[in-house]
């Protein structure tokens, strides 16, 4: 049964203290997976650990981790390997964004977005690759964004980080194909999480897209259903992904028409 394929598997999730990371953890635990949950907020992780172990009887380990700190990434993953031996699935979910026009972007914010969304993701992936390649088994799931396919006004830096995630993932997929290691990118539109408490300080973007927002549990279920399958991309919602197709085919027309709508954030 499809619901049994995660039973006993070791799954590591970054950014697991809330949003879709926490929802993914709950669904994986319900399907019998053992979990390692990573995030900066250790208190929230410990609460989730207690809930999942009590409710589902699975093994859950939690570690405080800022993925932007590559020294921490190395230390934590080395400890994880000592504790559980191997990692079957890595979900790179940690990330954040700030919506500003390019001339208003602060250099500290730019660096932090790249350190978390790109360098941190690559650092975590680099830690699992040698053992996955040696075992010729594994799945890496990178949470990207529709912003990585369609660059929009006021998200130039965030879009750039997600473009980088997609480029990295696409190359990685080809490198790992002969090792039977799957690489999936998840490209959601706006999700109803606390992401926008940082990204959208004025609240204007949330107001303009509220009726289109995805629910975290819906996105999480799509991610968990894809685990250990040959799913290349998950694009949500499907109608929004049609915009990225139109962008590739008719970029000039899309930018001329789309900038008026997309500039509402």
Residues taking part in catalysis? 158
Tokens representing residue 168 in the block? 């990295």
Find the helix or strand (DSSP H, E) in which 234 lies. strand 233-236
Alpha helices (H) in the chain, listed in sequence order: 19-30, 42-56, 70-84, 107-114, 121-135, 156-176, 195-199, 204-209, 216-226, 238-249, 251-262
Query: What is the rounded (10 degree) CA torsion for 226, 210, 166, 61?
Result: -50
- DSSP, collapsed to helix, strand or coil, labels residue 111 as helix
195 contact partners, CB below 8 Å, separation of at least 6: 19, 96, 97
Structure tokens at 210: 């509220």
Give the span between the Cα atoms of 19 and 225, in whole angstroms: 17
CB burial string 180-200: b at 16+ within 10 A, e below:
ebbbbbbbbbbbebebbeebb
């Amino acid at each position: 049964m499809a619901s049994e394929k995660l039973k006993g598997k070791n799954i590591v999730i970054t950014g697991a203290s809330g949003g879709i990371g926490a929802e993914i953890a709950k669904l994986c635990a319900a399907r019998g997976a053992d979990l390692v949950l990573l995030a900066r907020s250790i208190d929230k992780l410990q609460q989730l650990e207690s809930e999942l172990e009590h409710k589902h009887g699975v093994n859950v380990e939690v570690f405080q981790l800022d993925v932007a700190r590559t020294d921490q990434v190395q230390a934590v993953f080395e400890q994880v390997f000592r504790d559980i031996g191997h990692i079957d699935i890595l979900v790179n979910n940690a990330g954040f964004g700030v919506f500003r026009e390019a001339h208003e972007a602060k250099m500290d914010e730019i660096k932090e977005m790249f350190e978390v969304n790109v360098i941190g993701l690559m650092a975590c992936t680099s830690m699992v690759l040698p053992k996955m390649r040696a075992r010729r088994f594994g799945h890496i799931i990178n949470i990207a964004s529709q912003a990585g396919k369609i660059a929009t006004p006021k998200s130039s830096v965030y879009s750039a980080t997600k473009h980088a995630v997609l480029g990295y993932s696409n190359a990685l997929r080809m490198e790992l194909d002969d090792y039977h290691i799957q690489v999936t990118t998840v490209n959601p539109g706006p999700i109803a999480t606390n992401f926008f408490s940082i990204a959208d300080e004025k609240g204007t973007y949330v107001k303009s897209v509220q009726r289109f927002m995805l629910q975290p549990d819906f996105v999480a279920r799509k991610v968990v259903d894809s685990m250990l399958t040959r799913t290349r991309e998950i694009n949500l919602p499907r109608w929004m992904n049609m915009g990225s197709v139109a962008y590739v085919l008719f970029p000039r027309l899309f930018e001329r028409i789309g900038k008026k709508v997309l500039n509402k954030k």
